[in-house]
Amino acid sequence: MVRPFFEEYVAFFGLQDRVRFRNGDFFKDPMTVVDVLVMGMILHDWNLAEKLALLKKAYDAMPDGGSLIVYENLIDDERRKNIAGLLMSLTMLIEAQDGFDYTGADCCGWMREVGFRETYVGQLTGIESMVVGIK
């Protein structure tokens, strides 16, 4: 369902030889060894134990120096300003059994907990932000 959109987007930028789509169940299937892994709007679907399991699995699937990029509608660390992030968290609590949104500081902490040596938060366009973990 996502694949056609992904492939069209990658082709638009001429990156077909550098970026690949992989089907699978990231809880059951092994992750392919990669230099960079992107998880967009994924972690907020799961409870904390599942979030940590996915982050650890990503960490294990990359060589030293590899990077994980997580992007979401992050809640601001003070939990006061990013209304879109707070509303998304409410939506996740309604739609997903245990899902919840989180702050950039939360995600950085989880990444360090599973082994990433460096983490930082960056603002993207609009309401989305990213958290980067470097192994």
Longest dimension (CA), the chain: 43
Question: What is the pLDDT at residue 20?
Answer: 84
d(CA 120, CA 135): 12
Identify whether 26 is part of a domain. no
Q: Give 86's Cβ-side CA count (13 Å radius).
A: 8
Q: State the total domains in the chain.
A: 1
pLDDT of residue 11: 96
What per-residue confidence (pLDDT) applies to 43?
95
| Residue 17 belongs to a domain | no
CA angle 60, 62, 66 (to 5 degrees): 130
The CATH number for 54's domain is: 3.40.50.150
Specify the pLDDT at position 2: 84
Q: Is residue 123 part of a domain?
A: yes
DSSP 88-119: HHHHHHHHSSS----BHHHHHHHHHHHT-SEE
Q: Which residues of the chain have pLDDT under 70?
A: none
Question: In this structure, is residue 12 part of a structural domain?
Answer: no
Q: Flag whether 90 is in a domain.
A: yes
pLDDT for the residue numbered 89: 77
The pLDDT, as a whole number, for residue 115 is: 98
- Quick one: pLDDT at residue 86? 76
The model carries a pTM of 0.87
Whether residue 102 contacts residue 29, with contact meaning beta carbons closer than 8 Å, is answered with: no
Residues belonging to the active site: 44
Name residue 133's beta-bridge partners.
68, 119
Q: Which domain holds residue 50?
A: 33-134
Contact in structure between 74 and 83 (CB atoms under 8 Å): no
Residue 14 resides in a domain: no
Nearest in space to 39 (alpha carbons), one of 135, 132, 134: 132
65 domain-assigned? yes
- Inside any domain, residue 7: no
